[in-house]
Amino acid sequence: MNTTGTKNISVLISGASVAGPALAHWLHRYGFTTTVVERAPALRDGGYAVDFRGEAHLSVLRGMGILEAVEQARTGMGSMAYVNKAGKPQAKLPADLFAGDVEILRGDLARILHEATAPHTEYVFGDSVTSLSEDAEGVTVTFERGAPRRFDLVIGADGMHSTTRRLAFGPEERYVRHLGVHCAIFTTANRLGLDHTGHAYRTAGRLVAMYSARHNTEAKAVFYFASPLLDLDRREVARQQAVLAEQFAGNGWESDRLLEDMRYAPDFYFDSVAQVRMDSWSRGRVALLGDAAYCPSSLSGMGTGLALVGAYVLAGELAAARRDHRGAFARYESELREYAAGCQKMGDGVARLMVPGSRLTATLLNRYYKVMPYLPGKDMAARIARRTAENITLRDYSAWDRLGPRDPALPVAAG
């Protein structure tokens, strides 16, 4: 007998990257029926490395039963070296600052989550939501390609440029705050022979880096440059690449070679560095999750861990509230709001440190990093990141498992 009152509640989740499949996992455990719709025609490979640190993050991965798979796919990254124009290392920053306890490529994490949820989750690739019409009994959803469907709830886990947020809450510019930096990333050959490490070269208003990936068989090229928000269509890859080439041509170090590699990369990604700030994460039967609701920026190092914690809390509160989605959404915000704010604070000011606007500031920062290992408090940034990641006490929702009394075959939920 189902004791939670949640069985067969249908939930549409928009977004199949990280937050969406994580939410589908927990909702299935509590007896919900989930459908995940994704605009991309298949899982997105590539992407940058993401990290988890502290017991809050690890307990969620452990509770999902995927911690072992994540650890097996970990990058194993060591320190990051800042180099001069000739490629000679000038300073090293510790691995804990970048990689946390476990670091994994975003594409590998998405694959693990998909494999864990595909047996019980309906995935619809190559489609997207075009309208939401809510009434007292549910939400009628229309799609770009598929026929309209009815769901009890809709969750937007579709990233910083969320379509769900636009449809339910209004235009993107109300909620997305540009931090003055744009970024690009793509896969390339490990031409420097990097061994579980990375090199970064910084000049005024620009930073270009390479780090090894997938056990040194490839590398990721990363570009950051300071700029006001650019009016670029996210689907116009050729135009994005032209802008990047214009910004970094003749920049020095490996810049020109990487720009040449860029034109053949199968997974080129370009976007602004931004945060999402909202007074409320839900409206009626629609709620937002992860970057769609509270993106802390890609420079914070907190986005993926925050998304997984958010999925755990949102699903747990929906189960605990039985059919009261309004109460569940309110509890979700109450439980997570302070934690999300702390993660966003980690992203404040990082853009100016990563990509300083003047040559003098860039030179001073490079010199500071060179002597930092010998200074008191050299590990302060890593300690602050760890405290931020652990600054939440997760409720134990296991009493609401869909099977009533706890099934001993299931991993213990995070608590």
**For residue 365, which phi and psi values (nearest 5 degrees)?**
-65, -40
Phi, psi of 139 (to 5 degrees): -130, 125
263-317 confidence digits (pLDDT tens): 999 899 999 999 999 999 999 999 999 999 999 988 777 889 999 999 999 999 9
The reply to whether 199 falls in a domain is yes
CATH code of the domain covering residue 387: 3.50.50.60
pLDDT at 398: 86
Q: Is 58 helix (H, G, I), strand (E, B) or coil?
A: helix
Whether the predicted model's global pTM rises above the 0.95 cut: no
Confidence of residue 415 (pLDDT cuts 50, 70, 90): very low
Burial 157-180 (b: 16+ CB within 10 A, else e): bbbbbbbbbbbbbeeeeebbebbb
Number of independent structural domains in the chain: 1
Provide the mean pLDDT of the chain: 86
Q: Where are the beta strands (DSSP E) in 277-335?
A: 282-283, 286-288
- Asked if residue 412 is part of any domain, the answer here is no
pLDDT (0 to 100) of residue 125: 97
Q: Give 217's pLDDT tier (boundaries 50, 70, 90).
A: very high
306 in any annotated domain: yes
What is the rounded distance in angstroms from the CA atom of residue 15 to the CA atom of residue 37? 6
In this structure, is residue 310 part of a structural domain?
yes
Q: Is 134 domain-assigned?
A: yes
Contact 304, 106 (CB under 8 A): yes
Give pLDDT tens digits for 146-167. Answer: 999 999 999 999 999 999 999 9
pLDDT of 1-50, one tens digit each?
Answer: 334 455 569 999 999 999 999 999 999 999 999 999 999 999 887 667 78
Q: Per-residue pLDDT tens for 80-123?
A: 888 989 999 887 776 666 666 788 888 899 999 999 999 999 99
**Residue among 109, 378, 158 at smallest CA distance from 289:** 158
Asked whether residue 1 is domain-assigned, the answer is: no
> Could you tell me whether strands 282-283 and 33-38 are parallel, antiparallel, or unpaired per DSSP bridges?
unpaired
Comparing CA positions, the residue from 114, 118, 102, 115 lying closest to residue 50 is 102
Higher pLDDT, 76 or 357: 76
Q: What are phi and psi of 53, to 5 degrees?
A: -145, 140
The predicted structure's pLDDT at residue 372: 53
Predicted confidence (pLDDT) at residue 368 exceeds the cutoff of 60: no
216 vs 22, 188, 236, 253, CA distance in Å? 28, 11, 30, 20
Query: Rounded to whole angstroms, how far apart are CA atoms 359 and 356?
Result: 8
SS3 338: helix
- Select from 370, 98, 328 the least CA-distant residue to 211: 98
Q: Is residue 19 part of a domain?
A: yes
**What's the pLDDT at 303?**
86
Instruction: Check if the beta carbon of residue 190 is closer than 8 Å to that of residue 324.
Output: no
Q: Distance (Å, rounded) from C-alpha 248 to C-alpha 234?
A: 20
* Domain range enclosing 299: 10-400
Any domain includes 408: no
- Secondary element (H or E) of residue 178: strand 176-188
